[in-house]
Structure 1
């Protein structure tokens, strides 16, 4: 239960750090060798803190003013890999909102749980039967 709570807290931390622009605290959220896949947004795979920080700053005022992480589901593969699937809601300054799915691989490091791999998948169309 302690690990699950720590992973949930980790997921929540993402929104706070990104919204506050606290890029110097990336090591609290991501592993040093993080792979942040934003290919669906045309940005490819970002590797490491510096690449994530640079891309976030480049987006500038087009960034959401609020990143909200919800529906956090934690699972463990037979080989011990811990996966987290969650929903992200981005609220923009003009009132628009967007939705994504985060598919993460997390691992426990000396400083606690960290996101090692994140894939961001935009939700652009509603479910159609």
Structure 2
């Protein structure tokens, strides 16, 4: 291992802290969305952040909050659901980053004991450090149902340099 300067070590610690902050931000989404915690959900995104799901695009905190408050989402919560995200593969370049992961929406089976995986989705999280905090600027999610766009999200994430 080459001799490391104090600055080299400080840079490595900063990168590790950034990676941890990004992973924690992503991990906060599941508990926030499944509990209907509007403020916690919107804190994941930058004020003008975009959530691009294959069912529609939400722009900014107001539209993302409206999705959380929507009757459709409230029905998922009240019926029993869990958004499960795997740890992301993160690439960081200064104050921007991209994280790639898969997620599952698991719902309580109302007709039998147990749960059903409703969907498995490829996710690309574009992040920016704003006022010292990582925020999602664009999250693009596509169902892994054989479509090219979902596989392309996953491939782009793991072929980028970490």
TM class, shorter-length: 0.7 to 0.9
Taking structure 1 as the reference length, the TM-score comes to 0.83
Q: Give me the whole-angstrom Cα distance separating, in 1, the residues matched to 2:71 and 2:132.
A: 29
SS in 1 for 2:108: coil
After the TM superposition, which of the residue ranges 9-18 and 23-32 deviates more from structure 2?
A: 23-32
**Structure 2: segments with no counterpart, 5+ residues:** 1-15, 110-114, 152-162
The structure that has the greater radius of gyration is 2
Match of 2:104 among 66, 70, 89: 89
Give the match for residue 25 of structure 1: 40
Taking structure 2 as the reference length, the TM-score comes to 0.67
- Across the aligned residues of Structure 1 and Structure 2, the Cα RMSD in angstroms comes to 2.3
**Which of the pair has the greater relative contact order for Cα pairs under 8 Å at 6+ separation?**
1
Alpha-carbon distance, 1:125 to partner: 4.2
Query: For residues 76 and 100 of structure 1, do their structure 2 counterparts lie closer, same or farther at Cα, with a shift above 3 Å needed?
Result: same
Higher strand share: 1
Query: Any idea what the Cα deviations from partners look like across 1:6-48, whole Å, max 9, x if unmatched?
Result: 111011001011011000223431110101111x22x2x2101
After the TM superposition, which of the residue ranges 79-88 and 26-35 deviates more from structure 2?
A: 79-88
Match of 1:53 among 62, 65, 76: 65
Count of residues in correspondence between the two structures? 123
Higher helix share: 2
Q: Give me the whole-angstrom Cα distance separating, in 2, the residues matched to 1:27 and 1:19.
A: 13
**Structure 1: segments with no counterpart, 5+ residues:** none
Give the match for residue 76 of structure 1: 92
